[in-house]
């Protein structure tokens, strides 16, 4: 019971460390977690977060600088990002050059 895999633990810690007002990519989180080709699994971890999670999951976007979520979830993520000063256009795109977390 309770014992989570090392990968999920790492992902949670890394995402918790993303500064407010910055974003990072699924690929970078995977890299930092020690599994460079597990970007897809990072998304998997976030997808399974409980609704009330305090983790800043919304600071994670894809390598194109775009929000990967669709529908209502896309709007929720965009609003959360804009709420901390990050510019997001109507297509759900963010300027990675400007907001990327330099870890």
Q: Which two tokens stand for residue 68?
A: 């990967």
Per-residue binder mask for DNA (CB under 7 A), 67-86, x = binder: -xx---x---x---------
| Binder of DNA out of 18, 23, 32, 42 (CB under 7 A) | 42
DSSP 102: -
Q: Which stretch binds DNA (CB under 7 A): 39-47, 81-89, 90-98?
A: 39-47
Count Cβ atoms below 10 Å from residue 55 Cβ, excluding itself. 17
Contact yes or no for 101/26 (Cβ under 8 A): no
Measure CA 16 to chain center. Answer: 10
For DNA, the binding residues (CB under 7 A) are 4-5, 7-8, 25-28, 35, 37-49, 57-58, 60, 62-64, 68-69, 73, 77
């Amino acid at each position: 019971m309770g014992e989570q895999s090392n990968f999920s633990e790492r992902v949670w810690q890394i995402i918790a460390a993303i500064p407010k007002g910055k974003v990072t990519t699924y690929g970078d989180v995977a890299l930092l977690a020690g599994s460079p080709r597990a970007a897809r699994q990072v998304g998997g971890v976030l997808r399974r977060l409980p609704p009330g999670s305090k983790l800043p999951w919304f600071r994670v976007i894809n390598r194109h600088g775009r929000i990967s979520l669709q529908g209502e979830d896309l709007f929720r993520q965009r609003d959360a990002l804009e709420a901390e000063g990050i510019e997001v256009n109507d297509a759900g795109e963010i300027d990675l050059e400007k907001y990327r977390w330099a870890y």
